[in-house]
Amino acid sequence: MASAMYGKDKDERGGFNFDHVRRNNMLHSSGLQFKAAMKTGTTISGIVFKDGVVLGADTRSTNGDTVADKNCEKIHYIAPNIYCCGAGTAADTEAVTGMIASNLELHRMATKRQSRVITSLTMLKTHLFKYQGQIGAALVLGGFDLNGPHLFTVYPHGSSDALPFATMGSGSLAAMAVFESDYREGLDEEEAKELVARSIRAGIFNDLGSGSNVDLCVITKDGVKYLRNHETPNKRTYARTKGYDFPPGTTVLNRRNFMTATAATLPLNEIVDISNGAPEDVVMTEYTTRLSLHRRRDAMQAPHWPRSSFKIKVVAGAWLPEGVVTTGFSRDTGYRAEIVGQLEAYVGAT
C-alpha cells in the first residue's frame, strides 16, 4: 500500500508541480508577455473589546499604480448588527457583501429574528469556496448578536479564522504589528477605537497600496456607530482657490452631433425641458431658468437639423459650476447633471 501511495508515478505524488517552468521560460524568452496579476492595496482590521467589536479601514482605492479614489468606503453593511471590511477587488467585495446583505434581510423577514454573525460567515464562506478563489474578496467580518461580539476573517478561497484581533490586505503586516504589541483583553470602547485607528495608520504610512483617511465602525448591543473619516492624517496642503478652467475643445468629442447651452441658474432636483429654437424662459416651481441655445454642425452632417428636445436634471448643487458639464459630469466641482435626449449637450454657466 505504501509503495502504491509513494511510488514513482508523479500523478500519485503530492506537493508542487514544476512541469511547466521550462516551457514558460522558453515562451517568455521568445517574446511572449504574460499578464501579471493586478496588485490590490488595502488595510483593514478589527478587534473585540469588552462591549463589542471595532472595525477599521483606510480609504484609498487603487488601479495598479494609480490612486483611483482617495476617499472610498471599505466598510460594508451586512445587517443592522453586522458589518464587513473588504480588501481585494472592489467590485467583488461590494457585490459579495451586497448579495449576503440581501439574503440576510430575506432571512430576517422569514424568521422574524435578528441575524447571527455565524450565519453571515457561513454564507460568505460557502459562496467564496464555490468559486475557488476567483472572487477576490478578503474580508474582516464583525458583529454583535445574542451570543455576544464576534470577529472573523474570510479568505478568498473560503477559509476563515475566529480571532480576538485580525487584519487583512496589503497593509495587514504593519497593522498586525500594532495589535500584537498593544492588544489586551478587557479594552473599553475608546481604547479599542484608538488601537484600531493606530493599526490603520500603520498601514497607511507603511504600505503604498493604503492611504488617505481612517474609517471606523463600532458595533455593540446598543447599535452601530459608523465613524466616517474618523481621522484624516493626509489632508491636502494646497488647493487652488480658482479651480481648474479648461477651454472648450480640450477633450475630444466621441460624437459629432452636440448642442451647447448657456444658463444662469438651474433648479436643484428638477427636470428642465429645453427645446430647439430661440432663447426662452423655462419656469419650474419657484425657479426661473433662462436658457439660450447654440447649435454647431459638423461639415459632414446634413444642412438641416432634426427637430428634437432634451432634458437636463440637476442632481447635485443648485447652481451649475462655471465651466463645462459634458455627458453628465463637471470637471470643476463634481456636480452632476443627467442629460437625456437624442443629442449630446454641453451645459455651461456664463
HSE at residue 269, side-chain half, CA atoms within 13 A, is 0
User: Who's near 244: CB < 8 A, 6+ residues apart?
Assistant: 323, 331, 332
Alpha-carbon distance of 332 to 325, in angstroms, equals 9
Residue 126, all three cell numbers? 460557502
Are 89 and 137 in contact by the 8 Å Cβ rule? The answer is yes
What phi and psi values does residue 258 have, to the nearest 5 degrees?
-155, 160
Retrieve residue 173's grid coordinates: 503586516
- Give the separation between CA 203 and CA 185, rounded to whole angstroms: 23
User: Which of the 8 DSSP states describes residue 336?
Assistant: B
What cell numbers appear for 110 in the block? 422569514
Instruction: Look at residues 74, 81, 87 and name the one whose alpha carbon lies nearest to residue 52.
Output: 81
> Residue 49's closest CA among 198, 218, 228, 224?
218
Report the chain's terminal Cα–Cα distance, integer Å.
87
State which amino acid sits at residue 110: A
Cα separation, 214 vs 236, in Å, equals: 15
Could you give the strand order of the β-sheet that contains 75-79, starting from the edge strand earlier in sequence? 75-79, 82-88, 137-145, 148-154, 160-162
SS3 content of the chain, % helix, strand, coil (to 5): 25, 35, 40
Lookup: cell for 74:
471599505
Active site residue 66: no
Catalytic-role residue among 40, 42, 43, 326: 42
- Burial class, 206, CB count within 10 angstroms (exposed 0-12 / middle 13-18 / buried 19+): middle
DSSP letters of 29-47?
HTTPPPPPPPP----EEEE
Catalytic residue ranges: 42
